[in-house]
Chain A
Amino acid sequence: MNTKIKELRKQHKLSQEDLALEVGTTRQTITSIEVGKYTASLVLAYKIAHFFELSIEEVFDFSDIEQED
């Protein structure tokens, strides 16, 4: 799944560790989400979106899932 986390992080001048600390996860998980290896749970997706003051759809790209349907 594609996400805009990396761009948003750069806009806010945050490191992966800073973001991980804010949303209650580890740097490795943020890396995995950014490169699309791991799909975040709804709770974590909400926390990340909430941190950037955006909706989940604005941060995570669900077009792959919509195409599958």
Chain B
Amino acid sequence: MEDYKRKLERRRWVACLMLCIATVLVVVEVMMFIKIDKDPNAHFNEGFILGFQSGLILVMFVKSIVDIFSLTRTLKDERKIRLLYNKEHDERMQMINAKCGYPLIQSIAMFLIFVAIIAGYFNIIVFYTLVAVVMLLLIVSALFRVYYSKKM
């Protein structure tokens, strides 16, 4: 359990680092929004993709804060550490995740979002298509997860 405790502490540091990165990115995004706002030749798509990026950064920002608070609270209580350990190592949940292909879908979704943002600067249709694919993947995965959680 001591190893797991150290792992949680490392996770908290990573969340702090992510929060710092997200804060810097928020500042950069705001500056870019101001720049686009002042540019009369700016295309709608540029603002749209920037808005999409801002949404992702905002999610990263909020998730980091939530993680820091929840991990700090967990690390103070031995019972909560054991509950979290059991939750993460639960064989039933691992089987459900494996059946839904959850780890693979998560990686593919992250990769496709990254590609979509870059592709969006060249062709907005590719951006919409990739985002739609990611949405579909996540919805199907979530539905399978609910189905297997009820079934098992």
Contact = CB atoms under 8 A, between A and B. Distances in A.
Interface of A: 20-21, 24-26, 28-29, 32, 37-38, 40-41, 43-44
Interface of B, secondary structure class, is helix
Given A24-B86, A25-B86, A41 B151 contact: no
A40 B90 CA distance: 11
Given A32-B152, A37-B151, A37-B152, A25 B83 contact: no
A21 B91 contact: no
B152 A25 contact: no
A28 B82 contact: no
Q: Name the 4 nearest CB pairs between A and B, nearest first.
A: A29-B92, A26-B90, A38-B152, A25-B90
A21 B86 CA distance: 7
Interface of B: 79, 82-83, 85-87, 89-93, 149, 151-152
A31 B150 CA distance: 11
Contacts of A43: 91
B91 A41 contact: yes
A34 to B, nearest CB: 12
29 contacts: A20-B86, A21-B79, A21-B82, A21-B83, A21-B86, A24-B86, A25-B86, A25-B90, A25-B91, A25-B92, A26-B86, A26-B87, A26-B90, A26-B92, A26-B93, A28-B90, A28-B92, A28-B93, A28-B149, A29-B90, A29-B91, A32-B92, A32-B152, A37-B151, A38-B92, A38-B152, A40-B91, A41-B91, A43-B91
